[in-house]
């Protein structure tokens, strides 16, 4: 089980949290003017990096706040958590292919 | 509209499953944990309004004589405790059953700085107390309940048996679990199952 450092509550077990997918994914400004393919790309496709990944989590059984997490999707190493709107921590990014 | 024939009376959600006595494996020292229904408490939630948390904190300390607790913490005063449940949300717990009085007290003290709502009907408080209460909690939750990590006064919003609860340590060997009333019976069955090994008493 992951031990996730909620920026508000501190380290808690993974089962208190829910996953929110890729972070820092800009929503198209005017969705009705883009093609279905571009919209589908935004809605359904994620980078899904095998390595360092920036992702959203919500502490749904705790403070009920969304925040961002930097996690290695292969090793499960957690590099840090930061609040919405904050800049991500400097991380030595890795990608395993 | 049908006529009301009988006045409404408060009922425990555990009435059907509460069997007074000692259960499980009772050792020579007696039951490891005692469960108590804390229906003698009144709960109200309050949340900072537009004026912000600082204005609310000022009103609380000036008019209630209580500091607003920070994350995972609580403050206790004369018959009234405040516990942190979220970034700008708290729960007030009064040691009596007079809901309207608590709402009036909070309303007068906090005024326009907070939105206050009675939660006594929706939340249920179960007390676990005894020399082996920590053994029970270690089985029931992944939260670190070691005394160095979980001192008296600490309260965490966490998950127990897939249910959101507030776990609050009020004394060295006494913990309160605040749970939505509809989940109380399920959580009670879960916690008593976790307690069978140390033996438990229902007064």
pLDDT for residue B70: 96
* Domains, chain B, with CATH or none: 29-39+122-202 (3.30.1360.120), 42-118 (3.30.70.1520)
pLDDT for residue B7: 84
Residues of chain A with Cβ-Cβ distance to B143 below 8 Å are 12-13
Contact B155, B167 (CB under 8 A): yes
Distance from CA of B164 to the nearest CA of A (A): 5
Contact A40/B at CB under 8 A: no
3-state DSSP call for residue B189?
helix
pLDDT for residue A57: 98
pLDDT for residue B5: 77
Structure tokens at B83: 């516990």
Beta strands in B77-197 (DSSP E): 80-86, 89-94, 114-118, 123-129, 155-160, 163-171, 174-180
3-state DSSP call for residue B185?
helix
Structure tokens at A45: 């496709």
Q: Is the pLDDT of residue A29 over 70?
A: yes
Distance from CA of A79 to the nearest CA of B (A): 21
* Domains, chain A, with CATH or none: 3-83 (3.30.2270.10)
Tens-digit pLDDT profile for chain B (203 aa)? 667 678 888 889 999 999 999 999 999 999 999 999 999 999 999 999 998 999 999 999 999 999 999 999 999 998 999 999 998 999 999 999 999 999 999 999 999 999 999 999 999 999 999 999 999 999 999 999 999 999 999 999 999 999 999 999 999 999 999 999 999 999 999 999 999 999 999 99
Beta bridge partners of B42: B94
Query: Which pLDDT tens digit goes with each residue over A38-73?
Result: 999 999 999 999 999 999 999 999 999 999 999 999
CA distance readout (Å), B160 to B12, B46, B184: 20, 24, 11
The closest CB to that of B158, out of A8, A16, A64, belongs to A16
Closest-CA residue of chain B to A15: B159
Contact B87 A65 (CB under 8 A): yes
CA distance readout (Å), B159 to A59, A97, B141: 11, 36, 7
Contact B72/A at CB under 8 A: yes
Residue A24 has, within 13 A of its CA and on its CB side, a CA count of: 13
Contact B57, B28 (CB under 8 A): no
Integer-rounded Cα Rg, in Å, for chain B is: 18
CB proximity under 8 Å: B 138-177 to A: 142-143, 156-159, 164
Contact A84/B at CB under 8 A: no
User: Which of A3, A6, A58, A62 is the best mutation test for B, with the most CBs of B within 10 A?
Assistant: A62
Distance CA B104, CA B102 (A): 5
The C-alpha angle with vertex A62 and arms to A58 and A65, in degrees rounded to 5, equals: 35
Contact B143 A8 (CB under 8 A): no
The closest CB to that of A8, out of B71, B142, B159, belongs to B71
3-state DSSP call for residue B8?
coil
What ipTM, to 2 d.p.? 0.87
User: Which of A63, A67, A83 is the best mutation test for B, with the most CBs of B within 10 A?
Assistant: A63
Core vs surface per residue A73-91: b (16+ CB within 10 A) or e = eeeeeebebbeeeeeeeee
Structure tokens at B147: 């005394």
pLDDT for residue B38: 97
Pair type for strands B200-202 and B33-37: parallel
Closest-CA residue of chain B to A6: B71
3-state DSSP call for residue A79?
strand
């Amino acid at each position: 089980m992951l031990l996730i450092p909620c920026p508000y509550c501190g380290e808690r077990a993974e089962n208190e949290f829910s996953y929110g997918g890729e972070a820092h994914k800009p929503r198209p400004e005017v969705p009705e003017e883009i093609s279905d393919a571009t919209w589908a790309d935004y809605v359904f496709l994620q980078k899904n990096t095998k390595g360092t990944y920036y992702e959203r989590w919500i502490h749904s059984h705790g403070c009920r706040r969304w925040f961002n997490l930097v996690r290695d999707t292969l090793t499960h190493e957690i590099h840090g958590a930061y609040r919405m709107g904050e800049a991500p921590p400097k991380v030595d990014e890795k990608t395993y292919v | 509209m049908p006529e009301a024939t009988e006045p409404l009376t408060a009922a425990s959600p555990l009435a059907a499953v509460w069997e007074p006595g000692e259960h499980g494996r009772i050792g020579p020292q007696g039951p490891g944990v005692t469960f108590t229904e804390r229906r003698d408490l009144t709960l109200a939630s309050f949340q900072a309004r537009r004026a912000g948390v600082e204005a609310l904190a000022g009103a609380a300390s000036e008019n209630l004589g209580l500091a607003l607790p920070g994350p995972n913490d609580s403050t206790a005063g004369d018959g009234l405790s405040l516990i942190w449940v979220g970034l700008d949300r708290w729960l007030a717990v009064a040691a009596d059953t007079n809901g309207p009085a608590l709402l009036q007290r909070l309303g007068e003290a906090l005024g326009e700085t907070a939105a206050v709502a009675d939660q006594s009907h929706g939340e249920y408080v179960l007390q676990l107390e005894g020399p082996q209460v920590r053994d029970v909690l270690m089985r029931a939750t992944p939260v670190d309940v070691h005394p160095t990590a979980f001192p008296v006064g600490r309260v965490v919003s966490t998950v127990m048996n897939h249910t959101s609860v507030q776990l609050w340590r009020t004394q060295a060997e006494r913990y309160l679990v605040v749970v939505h009333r509809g989940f109380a019976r399920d959580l009670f069955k879960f916690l008593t199952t976790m307690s069978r090994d140390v033996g438990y008493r229902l007064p």
